[in-house]
Amino acid sequence: MKIEDLRIQEISREVRDGCQELNLPDSVLRQCMDKLRAQIDLGLNPDTRDKSTVKCFNTYVQDLPTGKEKGQFLALDLGGTNFRVLLITLNGRHFDMQSKIYVVPKAIMIGPGEDLFDHIASCLESFTLEHRVANKNLPLGFTFSFPLNQVGLKNGILTRWTKGFNCAGTVGRDVVEMLNAAVEKRKNTLKIDVVAVLNDTTGTLMSCAWKNHNCKVGVILGTGSNACYVEKIQNVIGFDGDKTKPYVIINTEWGAFGDNGELEFIRTPYDKEIDKNSVNPGKQLHEKMISGMYLGELARLLLVKFVKDKILFGGQASPALLEREKFLTEYISSIESDPRGVFKQCRNVLSKIGISDPTDQDCSNVRYICESVSRRAAHLASAGVATLLNKMEIPSVTVGVDGSLYRYHPHFHNLMYEKIPELLDPRIENPTINLMLSEDGSGRGAALIAASGSEHNV
C-alpha cells in the first residue's frame, strides 16, 4: 500500500466528507474565473463600475521602474494593525532602507478618522526627527492598503474600510488631504511632500518590476487580499491619464468579488458565519475566503463542528477552541510545516488552545482540516491570477506576491505554482509563469512611485 493511501486511511471518513465542500475542482474554479472576468470588464468602464464588485481603479501609475531611479524618499505604509515609516535611498540598483514599525491601537482603528491621521503624523514626526531629516522636505510615497478610488497620482478617495478598521468621517474623503491636514498641525517640525498614494498591490508590482522587468501582476495574500495588473490604455474606457503611454496599472480590488452574490454557489456555512461576525458583513466576501485574517477562524469553525460530532478529541472542546478567533492563521502554517506523519507542531498548537494529549488520529484529522482550508484559499487565489493572465494574453509573466500568508505558509507557493498553469487559456502558447516573492514591496514600491512622481528624481 502506498504511503499516500496510508495517510488517507488515517483521516476519518467523516472529516474527509465534511471538508469536501472546500474542495473546488477546476470546473468550479473556471466558473469563478468567468464571473470574475465579467466583473473586471464592468469595473473598467466608468459607466458600469457602480454595478461591479471589482472596481478596477486607475492608479495613474504608467511607468514601470527602469533601475535608474535616484534620490532620498520617505514611505508610509498603512495596511493593517501596524504601519511603517521608511527612509529610502535609491541610486540606480543600490537600495538602502531604514524603517520603524508603529502600532495602530484598536481604539484608533475604530475611532474618528482625525485621530488615525493625527497618530500617523505624530509617528512621522518622531521618525524624521530620529533620522535627522525633519527639515529636508522629502517626497513621500503613501502606501494605503484599503480600497481607494484614485483620481490622480496623489489623490485617493477612500471607498470603504477593511481588515478590522472602521474610522468615522473618512469614507468618501481624500486620504492624502486627511494626512496633509494632520501634517500641517506639525508644520514647524514635519516637512514632507506627499507625491503619490498607492495600494500595496501596486507597490508589490513596482518593487518586483525593479528587479524583474517581466513583472506585470502584483498580488497581496496577507491579512487581506487584492491584485493589480498592467492594462492596455485602450481597454480602460474614459481613461483620463497620459494617453501617449500605452499602459497603466489597474488596482482591481478583487477582495470585494462576490459581494453581489457571485460566489454564493461555493460559500459554506462557515464562510457565512465568519462574515456575519465580521466588522463589515456582506462585504469583501472573496477576501474572507482566502486571506490570513479569516483562515484561522474558518479552520476553528470546522474543528468545533467535528468536536460536536464527536469525531475529534473525544468530543471534548476546550474553552479556547470555542472562542472566536482564538485559532490563529499562523497555527495553520505551523501544523502544515510538520513532515507527513509527524505531529510535533500540531501538538504544540493544540496545547496552546487547551487541547492536551490528542491522538495521532486527531492530529491527522486536524492537519487535513487545515490543508483543506489552505488549499481552497490557494486555489481561489490561483483562479484570480489566472483570470488576469488570460485577460492580458501574455505568454511569459512574472507575478509579484507579498503578504504574510504567502510568505510564511509552507505550501501556498507550491499550491499556486501548480494550479495557475492548469487554469490558463489553452490559446496562450508555451506559457511561462513565475511567482516572485516581493522584498519589501510596500516600502520600495512607494519610493519608486514617489521617484517617478517627484521633481526630486534627478
Residues known to be catalytic: 84, 145, 200
Q: At residue 199, what is the residue type?
A: N
Contacts of 107 (CB under 8 A, 6+ apart): none
Rounded to an integer, what distance in angstroms lies between the CA atom of residue 8 and that of residue 138? Answer: 59
The three cell numbers of residue 235 are 481597454
* Residue 244 phi, psi dihedral angles, 5° rounding: -80, -15
Q: Which residue has the cell 482550508?
A: 373
Q: At residue 249, what is the residue type?
A: I
Rounded to an integer, what distance in angstroms lies between the CA atom of residue 228 and that of residue 236? Answer: 14
What DSSP string describes 158-223?
Answer: E----TT---BT-TTSBHHHHHHHHHHTTTTT--EEEEEEE-HHHHHHHHHHHH-TTEEEEEEESS
Neighbours of 25 (CB within 10 A): 8
* Residue 215 phi, psi dihedral angles, 5° rounding: -75, 120
Give, in degrees to the nearest 5, the angle at Cα 81 between 75 and 84. Answer: 20
User: Could you give the 3-state DSSP secondary structure of residue 53?
Assistant: coil
The three cell numbers of residue 162 are 477593511
Q: At residue 425, what is the residue type?
A: D
* Residue 377 phi, psi dihedral angles, 5° rounding: -60, -45
Find the helix packing angle between 360-392 and 412-423, rounded to 10°: 40
What DSSP string describes 238-291?
Answer: T--S-TTSSEEEEE--GGGTTTTSTTTTT--HHHHHHHHTSSSTTS-HHHHHHS
Q: At residue 37, what is the residue type?
A: R
Tell me which long-range contacts 46-52 makes (C-beta under 8 A, separation of at least 24). 46/237, 46/238, 47/237, 47/238
Neighbours of 48 (CB within 10 A): 13
User: Could you give the 3-state DSSP secondary structure of residue 456?
Assistant: coil
